[in-house]
């Protein structure tokens, strides 16, 4: 999102007014995303992994209506998901490859996450606009994480999305863990980041701390030599954080929470630390001004689904200053993500 396309279109004589194509693309994009959700939900990309098939064959395999599936697939052939080969045969195109299970960079689980409960929240966006509170809670009668606690399949999918994020390895590489001994990953999900750090640094041990569902999933999935250096602890960071670390991680945690809860989490982490200990905050930092930035769409997800907010590094700095930390430095990462290092004072 580097430029505003509406400003780059000149109105043609007798043609549509400037910005109308851009606006139409914006207005129809939820439909395209839901079509992608549908093919992800029925594993269509996985079923095309070995080569092209007809929409009739795929409909028979999935129980979908043949004509409906054909119309969905031909639409998505205009968006780089499939390639229509004629006679209702389709192959995977580049974006479609990333809807397959298990391929590096797969976004299949994101398609499911964005397409299900979170999508319903957008239907009640006016509630968030009027109240500043998440539409999700209004629809489901509970917070997003409480909902996941009650829906193991949704929780498993969410943890897969988080654990599979391509941004995990750069964090593990961007900080010098040499002088430290024990890393506590607070809200660390099923441990992808912690495992990646412990694998690179054999002298380190670690503690993974998250809600019981994530820790249960981690217990099932973690193995190998790193497992012996990694203890697992279930609990809520709104109540406490495990003691004993000299480095604490909060990766993509604080943006899920409003300022009051984010400060409470930071205070609990600070209470578990000794002075001089390091806190690494990994987040998508927004610019302080109103310039275009992809993180702003995730800020709306925080508003509508979670009740959190994306922040600038200065805003994180202000939260750190009021909770017993001193910001030390900021390291830019991929995909508009960054690492903010702070010292417990
Ligand atoms: C957006 S995910 C980030 C996961 C991981 N740190 C990462 O970067 O991939 C937020 C994490 O916070 C956890 N979480 C939410 N509420 C929590 C709570 N009250 N106590 C502990 N963990 C919580 C979720 O289970 C989830 O793993």
How many A from CA of 342 to the centre of ligand 1?
A: 20
Q: Tell the residue nearest (CA) to atom 1 of ligand 1.
A: 252
Mean pLDDT of 39-55: 98
Q: Among 148, 185, 249, 253, name the best residue to mutate to test ligand 1's pocket (greatest count of ligand atoms within 8 A of Cβ).
A: 253
Q: Tell the residue nearest (CA) to atom 4 of ligand 1.
A: 189
Q: What percent of the chain has pLDDT over 70?
A: 94
Is residue 321 in contact with ligand 1, taking CB distance under 6 Å?
no
Domain annotation for the chain: domains and CATH numbers: 14-97 (1.10.10.10), 162-344 (3.40.50.150)
Q: What is the mean pLDDT of the chain?
A: 93
Res. 263 pLDDT band, cuts 50 70 90: very high
Residue 1 has pLDDT above 60, yes or no: no
Sequence-distant (6+) residues with CB within 8 A of 72 are 35, 38, 39
Res. 337 pLDDT band, cuts 50 70 90: confident
Is residue 253 in contact with ligand 1, taking CB distance under 6 Å?
yes
Mean pLDDT of 122-131: 98
Is residue 166 in contact with ligand 1, taking CB distance under 6 Å?
no
Mean pLDDT of 134-148: 97
Residue 76 has pLDDT above 90, yes or no: yes
How many A from CA of 252 to the centre of ligand 1?
A: 8
Is residue 213 in contact with ligand 1, taking CB distance under 6 Å?
no
How many A from CA of 290 to the centre of ligand 1?
A: 28
What is the length of the chain? Answer: 345
Apex CA 76: angle with CA 72 and CA 80, to 5°? 165
Q: How many C-beta atoms lie closer than 10 Å to residue 11's C-beta?
A: 11
Residue 46 has pLDDT above 80, yes or no: yes
Res. 13 pLDDT band, cuts 50 70 90: confident
Whole-number pLDDT of residue 171: 64
- pLDDT of 221-240, one tens digit each? 898 889 999 999 999 999 99
| Residue 255 annotated to the active site | yes
Distance CA 312, CA 284 (A): 8
Of 127, 182, 255, 293, which residue is the catalytic one?
A: 255
Res. 215 pLDDT band, cuts 50 70 90: very high
**Are β-strands 89-92 and 53-54 bridged in parallel, bridged antiparallel, or unpaired?**
antiparallel
Q: Higher confidence at residue 343 or residue 3? A: 343
How many A from CA of 61 to the centre of ligand 1?
A: 36
Is residue 237 in contact with ligand 1, taking CB distance under 6 Å?
yes
Whole-number pLDDT of residue 2: 41
Distance CA 313, CA 80 (A): 35
Mean pLDDT of 80-109: 97
Residue 5 has pLDDT above 50, yes or no: no
Alpha helices in 44-134 (DSSP H): 44-47, 55-62, 66-76, 94-97, 108-115, 117-122, 125-131
- pLDDT of 270-297, one tens digit each? 999 999 999 999 999 999 999 999 899 9
Distance CA 57, CA 279 (A): 53
How many A from CA of 106 to the centre of ligand 1?
A: 21
Sequence-distant (6+) residues with CB within 8 A of 58 are 42, 44, 47, 48, 64, 69, 73, 90
Distance CA 233, CA 242 (A): 8
Q: Provide the 8-state DSSP code for 271.
A: H
Q: Count of alpha carbons within 13 Å of 196, Cβ hemisphere only?
A: 19
Mean pLDDT of 59-84: 98
Please identify, by atom number, the ligand 1 atom nearest to the C-alpha of residue 237: 20
Residue 165 has pLDDT above 90, yes or no: no
Residue 173 has pLDDT above 90, yes or no: no
Q: Among 110, 187, 232, name the best residue to mutate to test ligand 1's pocket (greatest count of ligand atoms within 8 A of Cβ).
A: 187
Whole-number pLDDT of residue 80: 98
How many A from CA of 56 to the centre of ligand 1?
A: 41
Q: Among 189, 215, 221, 264, name the best residue to mutate to test ligand 1's pocket (greatest count of ligand atoms within 8 A of Cβ).
A: 189
Res. 11 pLDDT band, cuts 50 70 90: low
Contact 279, 273 (CB under 8 A): yes
Residue 117 has pLDDT above 50, yes or no: yes
Distance CA 284, CA 292 (A): 14
- Mean pLDDT check: name the lowest of 157-171, 244-258, 264-278: 157-171
| Long-range contacts from 188-191, C-beta under 8 angstroms, 24+ separation | 188/214, 188/249, 188/251, 189/159, 189/162, 189/163, 189/214, 189/218, 190/159, 190/162, 190/163, 190/214, 190/217, 190/218, 190/221, 190/222, 191/163, 191/218, 191/221, 191/222, 191/230, 191/232
């Amino acid at each position: 999102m580097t430029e505003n396309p509406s400003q780059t279109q000149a109105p043609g004589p007798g043609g549509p007014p400037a910005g109308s194509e851009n606006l139409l693309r914006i207005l129809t994009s939820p439909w395209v995303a839901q079509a992608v959700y549908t093919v992800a939900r029925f594993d269509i990309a996985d079923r095309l992994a070995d080569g092209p098939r007809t929409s009739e064959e795929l409909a028979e395999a999935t129980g979908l209506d043949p004509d409906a599936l054909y119309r969905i697939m031909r639409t998505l052939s205009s968006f780089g998901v499939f390639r229509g080969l004629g006679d209702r045969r389709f192959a995977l195109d580049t974006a479609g490859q990333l809807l397959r299970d298990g391929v590096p960079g797969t976004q299949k689980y994101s398609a499911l996450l964005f397409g299900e409960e979170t999508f319903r929240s957008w239907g009640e966006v006016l509630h968030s606009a009027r109240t500043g509170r998440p539409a999700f809670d209004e629809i489901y009668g509970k917070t997003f994480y409480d909902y996941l606690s009650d829906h193991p399949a949704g929780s498993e999918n969410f943890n897969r999305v988080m654990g599979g994020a391509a941004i995990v390895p750069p964090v593990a590489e961007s900080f010098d863990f040499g002088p430290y001994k024990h890393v506590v990953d607070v809200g660390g999900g099923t441990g992808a980041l912690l495992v990646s750090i412990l694998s690179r640094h054999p002298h380190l041990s670690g503690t993974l701390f998250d809600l019981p569902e994530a820790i249960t999933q981690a217990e099932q999935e973690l193995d190998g030599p790193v497992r012996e250096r990694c203890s697992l602890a279930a609990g809520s960071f709104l109540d406490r954080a495990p003691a004993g670390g000299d480095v604490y991680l909060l990766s993509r945690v604080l943006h899920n929470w409003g300022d009051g809860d984010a400060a409470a989490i930071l205070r609990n982490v600070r209470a578990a630390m000794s002075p001089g200990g390091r806190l690494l905050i990994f987040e998508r930092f927004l610019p302080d001004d109103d310039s275009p930035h992809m993180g702003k769409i995730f800020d709306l997800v925080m508003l509508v689904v979670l009740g959190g907010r994306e922040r600038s590094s200065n805003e994180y700095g202000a939260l750190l200053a009021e909770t017993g930390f001193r910001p030390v430095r900021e390291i830019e990462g991929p995909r508009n993500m960054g690492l903010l290092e702070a010292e417990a004072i």
